[in-house]
Amino acid sequence: MPFRRLLAGLLLFLGLGTPLATAQAQSAWPNRPVRFVVPLPPGGASDLMARMIAAHLAEALGQPFVVDNRPGAGGTLGTAFVANAPPDGYTLMMGNTATHINAPLLFPNAGYDGLTDFAPVAPFATITNIVVVHPSLPVSSIPDLIAHARANPGRINFGSAGAGGTIHLAGELFKMRTGVDIVHVPYRGGAAMIADLVAGQVQLAFDNFPQIIPHVRSGAVRAIAVTSAQRWPLAPDLPTVQEAGVPDFDITAWFGTMAPARTPPAIVQRMNAILRRYAADPALAARLAELGAFPMSMDTMQFADFMQAERARYAEIIRVSGAKVD
């Protein structure tokens, strides 16, 4: 018998070179450290959550998950790096609304598609925004704000941490759904925007919960509603914008684990199962609450469908409002 036929028969007998062999190889994953990319600087919500996920996956799977911060260009540099990484389960990332939904819609050369270039592994957490006003603005509710804005067109400024984020697009959605004329003032980061909001240089913001809640508690700004579709568990006394009469208003930021497209489904499903069990842990809910966040849990198909719906919703806001990034 020729050597090649003998070798082929031996490989077939052992299951090598067959779907069984592929499954066996994938079952050995991970057998070396896994890179977990955060496309933003250390210290922010994405970074802190990524470190929580990495530590949990490392404990569950017995290999290091090493956080690798790759900031730049609004998160697109690190995200493009992961999109082009080998789909072998050894490069993952912490994605969010900005990196996977808004940036590819707003940046003409983001370098990736937030949906087709990735395999969604599992969502991790969500954060609402809060509608806040400077105390000098004579409003204490969404109906008050709408009435005051209509009586003073173009005279109320709303700040954001930069064009294209959920803070900005929440304001644009508010304009779309109510017809009010309020003026967007973008800043280079949330700290500068909050400083001017507290000083009264801008009168209104749709800011992320963890960033603005200390200033609400100190009385520097007044909270009048949350932007999520349901009341926020960490601020249950605040009504939603929808409750206040503005239809189809739902803005939240989400965070989740992503892998390059074509990562073996067995690897993706294995991580999803681990992270869904983690999401149900009350200790995790308590840790996320310290960040102003709330756990999310979906299977991989639900997560993919959720992302598709998010892109359709934000694409409408961007198209109608004409939102752009510089």
The domain spans of the chain are 34-126+253-321, 128-226
Q: Give the contacts of 152 (CB within 8 A, at least 6 positions apart).
A: none
Q: What is the pLDDT of residue 233?
A: 92
Question: What pLDDT, in 10s, does the model give residues 34-63?
Answer: 999 999 999 888 999 999 999 999 999 999
pLDDT, residue 171, reads 97
Q: Are 117 and 300 in contact (CB under 8 A)?
A: no
User: pTM, whole model, 2 decimals?
Assistant: 0.86
Helix (H) or strand (E) holding 133: strand 118-133
Six-digit token string for 126: 């969500």
**Cβ neighbours of residue 106 closer than 8 Å, sequence gap 6 or more:** 163, 164, 318, 323, 324, 325
Dihedral sign for Cα atoms in the order 301, 126, 76, 318: positive
CATH, range 128-226: 3.40.190.10
Tell me, what's the pLDDT at 163? 83
223 contacts: CB under 8 Å, gap ≥ 6: 130, 131, 132, 212, 216, 235, 238
Q: What integer pLDDT is reported at residue 27 of this predicted model?
A: 62
CATH topology match: 34-126+253-321 vs 128-226: yes
How confident is the model over 231-258, as pLDDT tens digits?
A: 999 999 999 999 999 999 999 999 999 9
pLDDT of 281 strictly over 90: yes
Domain spanning 34-126+253-321: which CATH class is it, in words? Answer: alpha beta
pLDDT grade, residue 325 (50/70/90)? confident
H-type alpha helices, 137-247: 142-151, 166-178, 190-199, 209-218
What is the distance between the alpha carbons of residues 288 and 83, in angstroms, rounded to a whole number?
27
How would residue 183 be classed by pLDDT, with cut points 50, 70 and 90? very high
What percent of the chain has pLDDT above 70?
91
More confident residue, 57 or 18: 57
Q: How confident is the model at residue 326 (pLDDT cuts 50, 70, 90)?
A: low
